[in-house]
Amino acid sequence: MTVDELFAPDGPLAGEAPGYEFRPQQARMAAAVGETLARGGGLVVEAGTGVGKSLAYLLPAALWAAPAGRRVLVSTHTRALQEQILDRELPVVARVLRRLGQPLRCALLMGADNYLCVRRLERLAQAPELLPDSSAALLEELARWVKTADTGLRSRLPQLVAQGLWRSICRDPESCPEQGRFCARCLYRRDRERAEQAHVLVVNHALLLSSARLPHSDALVIDEAHTLPEAAAAHFGATVTLGRFLRLAEETGALARRIAAARGDDDGSLAQAERCAARCAEEGPAFLREIASRCGFAPDAKEPGGRLLDEALDRSEPQSLPELESSLAEVLRLSAEGEDEQESRALQVRAAALRRELREILELRTPETARWIEWFPF
Ligand code: SF4
């Protein structure tokens, strides 16, 4: 069946999409997508609101990929569009293909922090003394839920999880073993396997641009392509946020306390790591506040952002940051083999990355770089 026949007013799409209205622009776009996939090469389409662009590429893409066992990668910028594609449009496309006797497999793959990590969840659930009561109850519920769940996607969890707690139980690529060596009850593995089997795989621009290993694909559709430069700047640039300082400090302090409690002894290194973490949690925000103020963003500034001025950067990194990195080497030395060791290494990688990106911002002053600061009172 041709793409034109699929989109015809009395075609299979009309039979499967409630309220379907034939739109010549949509049919024309779909035909162009189908032709491009068949002959190879690229196609740029600009179409206004209401044309039905997603179906105009999804249906020909699915028709091209599924019968031949190919895979089309669809990249979008916003989560809203991903959900629309996954929950509303791909089910219609799958029904149309089913009418033609062709099964279609679709999947979504998102960045690491969109997935629950069963290992981190169980580890935290075993240390309820570190948690407020409400979090302990929620973790217990999640620990029950994971036993029968088949996805680790945050949006599919049975309960909303506050961001602070989520950071401690989401997948952390630094401590997650390489693909193929997943933990026994890993839910992310199932999402990953579905992605590897999919004919149509939906990802976001950040993942597309990242070095994360995406399954091989035979064609690529970039939706919301006008946002790709912005996503690329965010991905390839250096960004230092208040949250990075605070999370690093908070997690280092918690790990040092946990190791000290497990060992029952400390040669002073763990207490030192805890003190460094506490200093970093103070110096990081003070450092950012000072730079913001040097750029003219006082706590009551009306403008939310502006150029990051060279003269505002004439200073060195907060002293506690290199000290924290050295302390983490000591924490690693005292970590028992296994979970603590993995977490220590992951925190070391994060501390080094934060220092590296901060140095880039402070020192790299070439005409090719653009630097920007955003200011939210804290
Ligand atoms: S493989 Fe990674 S995501 Fe899965 S449970 Fe283990 S650490 Fe977590």
Which residue in this structure is represented by tokens 């036993």?
Answer: 147
Assign 3-class secondary structure to 282-345: HHHHHHHHHHHHHCCCCCCCCCCEEECCHHHHCCCCCCHHHHHHHHHHHHHHHCCCCHHHHHHH
pLDDT band at 185 (very low <50, low <70, confident <90, very high): confident
Question: How far is 242 from 84, CA to CA, in rounded Å?
Answer: 32
pLDDT 10s digits, 330-352: 999 888 877 788 888 889 989 99
Pick the atom of ligand 1 nearest to 189's CA.
4
User: Domain coordinates of the chain in residue numbers?
Assistant: 3-105, 112-184, 242-374
Pick the atom of ligand 1 nearest to 181's CA.
1
Pick the atom of ligand 1 nearest to 117's CA.
8
**CA of 370 relative to ligand 1 center, distance in Å:** 37
Establish whether residue 243 lines the binding site of ligand 1, counting it when its CB lies within 6 angstroms of any ligand atom: no
CA angle 86, 87, 93 (to 5 degrees): 70
What pLDDT was estimated at residue 127?
73
Q: How far is CA 173 from the centre of its chain?
A: 10
Residue closest by Cα to atom 4 of ligand 1: 186
Q: Determine the 3-state secondary structure of 269 from DSSP.
A: helix
Percentage of residues in the chain having pLDDT higher than 70: 94
pLDDT band at 41 (very low <50, low <70, confident <90, very high): very high
Q: Does 133 score more than 70 pLDDT? A: no
Instruction: Write down the pTM of the prediction.
Output: 0.77
- Other C-beta atoms closer than 10 Å to the C-beta of 132 total 10
Q: Does 378 score more than 60 pLDDT? A: no
